[in-house]
């Protein structure tokens, strides 16, 4: 039953019928929690889907609640490298941003970037971080302006 409900939810979402999809998504979540347990990764996925529905309807606070629950499950049950972790953090940060919770959004975005950097290049230390910032600035501004900015720092 939950899988059929999830199929309908996806169909409604693709048609932009988020309001109609929401109660079906909640019902599928209830079923999954009873069958799989409240801390199963599939329940986390259902929570994320519900959060997307809320976000798309401008219900950012409610979306935040569901993303937080999903993230809590993922942090307990998945590897930190699992893509669902980064996706959920990114989506939660978007909810924060929409609610003008800029600091909370910034923290999550930095976590995502740091994790991606460490996965690709190794640990980030303060000196490497400074070099990366200077390098990024040099791509964005002219050399003359860059030398001025660096001399001011």
- What pLDDT shows up at residue 152? 39
Which CB contacts under 8 angstroms, 24+ apart, belong to 77-84? Answer: 77/39, 77/40, 77/41, 77/44, 78/41, 80/115, 81/115, 81/119, 84/41, 84/44, 84/45, 84/48
The yes/no answer on whether domain 2-122 falls in CATH 3.40.50.2300 is: no
Per-residue pLDDT of 83-140, as tens digits, reads 999 999 999 999 999 999 999 999 999 999 988 888 888 776 665 555 454 444 444 4
- What global pTM score does this model have? 0.78
In the chain, where the domains are located: 2-122, 125-153
Q: What is the mean pLDDT of residues 16-44?
A: 96
């Amino acid at each position: 039953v939950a899988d059929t409900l999830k199929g309908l939810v996806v169909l409604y979402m693709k048609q932009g019928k988020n309001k109609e999809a929401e109660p079906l998504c909640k019902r599928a979540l209830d079923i999954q929690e009873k069958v799989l347990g409240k801390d199963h990764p599939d329940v986390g996925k259902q929570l994320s889907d519900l959060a997307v529905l809320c976000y798309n309807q401008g219900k950012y606070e409610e979306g935040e609640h569901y993303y937080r629950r999903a993230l809590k499950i993922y942090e307990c049950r998945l590897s930190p490298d699992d893509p669902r972790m980064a996706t959920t953090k990114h989506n939660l940060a978007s909810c924060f941003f929409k609610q003008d919770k800029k600091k909370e959004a910034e923290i999550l975005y930095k976590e995502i970037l740091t994790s991606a950097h460490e996965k690709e290049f190794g640990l980030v230390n303060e000196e490497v971080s400074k070099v990366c910032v200077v390098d990024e600035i040099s791509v964005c501004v002219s050399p003359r302006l860059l030398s001025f900015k660096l001399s001011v720092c």
